[in-house]
Amino acid sequence: MAFGRKIYKSPADIRAMIEPGLATAAALDAVRAAIRPGATTLELDAIAEHVIRSRGGVPNFMKEPGYHHTICASVNEAVVHGIPTDRPLEPGDLVSIDCGAEVKGWNGDAAFSVVIPDPTRSDLVAARQALSGATERGLWAGIAGLSNVRDLNTIGAIIEDAIDGSDGGPFGIVEDYVGHGIGRSMHEEPPVFNYRVRGNGPSVKPGLVIAIEPMVTSGGIETRTLADDWTVVTEDGSMAAHWEHSVAVHADGIWVLTAEDGGAAGLAPFGVTPVRPA
């Protein structure tokens, strides 16, 4: 696949993407604080929408044809695109929240996973936390790689190695869904793979803005879509985790647009210091 100049953003474009990234981060922070036994994902959805609109943004998931919510809430065996419901969350649930904001025509997109504590099932919780931790580790390894690789597809190999090297495995890296470019649209070229592929992909150079989002299971990598035409679950019923950030490559370094600190905490273990775009 050939990629033209259109996938690269100008310095002004990247600066304009800071606010939608921060709005997305704020919404996810508020949702994370509200996750507890008894809470419903519909309640979490309302929290995220309020935060985004209070910052002058619009939930960009609502702009997807046929989707009417601010977040995707995927629980346990659900991998991605879970529709918020009135089902109360339970101790031990593995909850993945995906969210995005549009501000002044520019987009942010990010996701996290969390396991609700359950003192009666410590082994189950530990296994699910290991899955989420491996997925998050893969995400940050991939982000760190943007600081020094030449070709985008190298990031997939870095993510795969980080996940394979994590404690608690083996894990399965879902191949049906990958990351993407982001900008005026939430989903743009190029694809961002979470595993090794042939070919180099586009150059990693100033102006590249992408959403990296590994989705990882505790079992097989085959998925299916439920009758609601949205929720994607593992075929074998194994647990799934999903982590994502929108990241900009610019002349002075990299910046995680959907992290309040630009990714400083997540990148520190990799010896990478993010630089805010000038």
Q: What does the DSSP assignment read for 180-229?
A: EE-SSSSSEEEEE-SS--SS--SB--TTBEEEE--EEESS---EEE-TTS
Residue 181 within a domain: yes
Residue 276 within a domain: no
The rounded percent of the chain whose pLDDT value lies above 90 is 97
Q: Rounded CA gap, 157 and 168, in Å? A: 20
Residue 245's Cβ-side half-sphere holds a number of Cα atoms within 13 Å equal to: 30
Q: Which domain holds residue 149?
A: 5-270
Q: Which residue in the block uniquely carries the two structure tokens 């775009």?
A: 277
Q: How confident is the model at residue 6 (pLDDT cuts 50, 70, 90)?
A: confident
In the chain, how many domains are there? 1
Average pLDDT over residues 49-67: 97
Burial 10-24 (b: 16+ CB within 10 A, else e): eeebbbbbbbbbbbb
Q: Which pLDDT value is given to residue 1?
A: 34
State the first-to-last Cα distance of the chain, in angstroms, to the nearest integer: 32
pLDDT tens for 179-231 read: 999 999 999 999 999 999 999 999 999 999 999 999 999 999 999 999 999 99
Residue 80 within a domain: yes
Average pLDDT over residues 56-72: 97
Residue 75 within a domain: yes
Q: Rounded CA gap, 29 and 170, in Å? A: 30
Residue 277 within a domain: no
Question: pLDDT at residue 117 above 50?
Answer: yes
Which CATH number do you get for residue 190? 3.90.230.10
User: Max alpha carbon distance in the chain (Å)?
Assistant: 54
Q: How confident is the model at residue 2 (pLDDT cuts 50, 70, 90)?
A: very low
| One-letter identity of residue 139 | L
Q: What is the mean pLDDT of the chain?
A: 96
- Kindly report the number of other CB atoms within 10 A of residue 205's CB atom: 12
Residue 137 within a domain: yes
Average pLDDT over residues 67-71: 97
The pTM assigned to this predicted structure is 0.96
Q: How confident is the model at residue 5 (pLDDT cuts 50, 70, 90)?
A: low
